[in-house]
Amino acid sequence: MPPDINFGVLLRRWRAVRRLSQLDLALDADISTRHLSCVETGRAQPSREMVLRLAEALQVPLRERNAMLLAAGYAPLYRHTGLDTPEAKAACQAVELLMAQLEPYPVLIVDRYWNTLRMNSGEKRFLALFPGCDSVTPHNGVRLVFHPNGLRPFIENWESVAARIIQRVHREVTANPSDETMKGFLEELLSYPDVPSRWRMPDLDGASPPFLTINYRWKNSTLRLFSALTTFGTALDIALQELRIETFFPADETTRAVLTS
């Protein structure tokens, strides 16, 4: 976030992202439209509590709530501790339990940019089926799908899978307009060979299929998997709110047999 950006600018930006009118936001935050207008234009200085109330009404992620507090002249509220700190011991134990219970299915623990923080034995065994994938570093599940030396050569329905991922990243960029790292990640994905130029335009209103498998070419058969994401529902820590537990399940009996063998 630029150091000179003020709270009113951030507030208008988030309201536009969420497609809310001043009246809509005022009703959600239980304040008058006149006061909201004064805050947006800088004629009124919001209290710390008002900043947090508006951020909650706009469903702003914790990282960006800190940015809103700073822009309004207040100290950040939310910490970024991670799984390896004593404060997150219970969360770490929950993650370890999930990874163990879901064996032998592949499980990845990723951050908001899909960088791999941890993986279980099932994921390591699955990646070992596809030689050379470990050469793509740093390890990132989305990057593996797009990188020519990653999983891309083994994915039969690569264009369908990659197109859906690109639209997901587009949505993340739109939903978090101040996240320059996410914008850079999108540009990286679009720069890989043979990525269609039409993917540069987001399709935010397009209907997605309800279910999509990733079909991997392996030996003389096809392994079909789908993924499910688990998050912490009441996290008040930035790292924990952004953490994702992605589990890959077999979509047919052939794949189940390979994963459990």
12-40: pLDDT as tens digits: 999 998 999 999 999 999 999 999 999 99
| Residue 255 confidence (pLDDT) | 97
Residue 2 has pLDDT above 60, yes or no: no
Residue 187 parent element (H or E): helix 180-190
Return the axis-axis angle of helices 180-190 and 158-175, rounded to nearest 10°.
Answer: 160
Integer Cα distance of 147 and 193 in angstroms: 8
Query: pLDDT per residue over 198-219, tens digit each?
Result: 999 987 666 666 778 999 999 9
Q: Name the amino acid, one letter, at 199.
A: W
Residue 189 has pLDDT above 90, yes or no: yes
Percent of the chain having pLDDT more than 90?
A: 78
Mean pLDDT over 90-118 rounds to 94
Q: Given the structure tokens 């994963």, which residue do they identify? A: 259
Average pLDDT, the chain: 91
Integer Cα distance of 72 and 67 in angstroms: 9
- Tell me how crowded residue 260 is: count the other CB atoms within 10 A of its CB: 11
Mean pLDDT over 149-169 rounds to 95
Residue 3 has pLDDT above 70, yes or no: no
Q: Name the amino acid, one letter, at 145.
A: V
Q: Specify the pTM.
A: 0.83
Which string of DSSP letters, residue by residue, matches 31-78?
--HHHHHHHHHTSSPPPHHHHHHHHHHTT--HHHHHHHHHHTT-----
| Residue 133 confidence (pLDDT) | 84
Integer Cα distance of 205 and 189 in angstroms: 21
What own/partner pairs with CB < 8 Å and gap ≥ 24 does 187-192 have? 188/143, 189/142, 189/143, 189/146, 189/165, 190/166, 192/146, 192/147, 192/148
Query: pLDDT per residue over 123-153, tens digit each?
Result: 999 999 998 887 888 899 999 999 999 999 9
